[in-house]
Amino acid sequence: KTAIAPLLAVCILLGGLYLQQIQNNQQGSFWIFHNTKETLIIETAGKSMKVYQKGDLQNNSVHLIQNFRVGERIQESKTLPLQNVFLKPNLLIVDNDGVYIPIQKNPNVLLIQSPKIHLGALIDSLKPIQIIADGSNYPSFINLWKETCQQKNVRFYETYSKGAIQLYDSNK
């Protein structure tokens, strides 16, 4: 009878560790990184990740991806072309073409490659949660967008001074 209590405690501990491992394999996140002249988005799911990019990656991007992969203990990765819409974090991407399809309500809007758009009109029509500008944009555009967002009372995030932003994290 005295051997049953420690054995039961070990079984409970091992069961808890097993459940934690299962949860870790199902968790995911969605990141927009700062990278000069490039757009870099990483989506994780358990021990795998998808890297979304437009064009070829520069050396500093490759190092950033490798560091992220090691830090998050990622075992497999896949590189994919950048999409204009991501449903999970409710993200709409507007690139240098300035063309966007308002599929979702109240999206996060990511501006990449300095699109020549009327940001005030975009804000009025989409009512975004926030506007995000990454490192692929001209600093002068970012300053104008920041002012427009302040006037329209919309949250503005730019990776130049604030660094990467995490839009989705199933760990929380």
Q: Locate tokens 């920041």: which residue?
A: 146
pLDDT for 35: 82
Rounded mean pLDDT, 112-131: 93
Tens of pLDDT, residue by residue over 61-84, are 788 888 888 888 888 989 888 877
Evaluate if residue 1 carries a pLDDT over 80: no
Q: Locate tokens 């049953």: which residue?
A: 4
Task: Give the rounded percent of residues in the chain with a pLDDT score beyond 90.
Answer: 34
Confidence of residue 116 (pLDDT cuts 50, 70, 90): very high
Evaluate if residue 139 carries a pLDDT over 90: yes
- Give the chain's mean pLDDT: 83
Single-letter amino acid, residue 80: L
Confidence of residue 18 (pLDDT cuts 50, 70, 90): low
Output the pTM of the full model.
Answer: 0.80
| Residues whose CB is less than 8 angstroms from the CB of residue 83 and which lie 6 or more positions away in sequence, other chains included | 52, 93
Evaluate if residue 172 carries a pLDDT over 50: no
Counting beta carbons within 10 angstroms of the beta carbon of residue 65, is it exposed (0 to 12), middle (13 to 18) or buried (19 or more)?
Answer: buried
pLDDT for 16: 66
Confidence of residue 170 (pLDDT cuts 50, 70, 90): low
Tens of pLDDT, residue by residue over 19-66, are 555 555 556 888 988 888 888 889 998 889 998 887 666 666 788 888
Rounded mean pLDDT, 77-93: 82
pLDDT for 171: 54
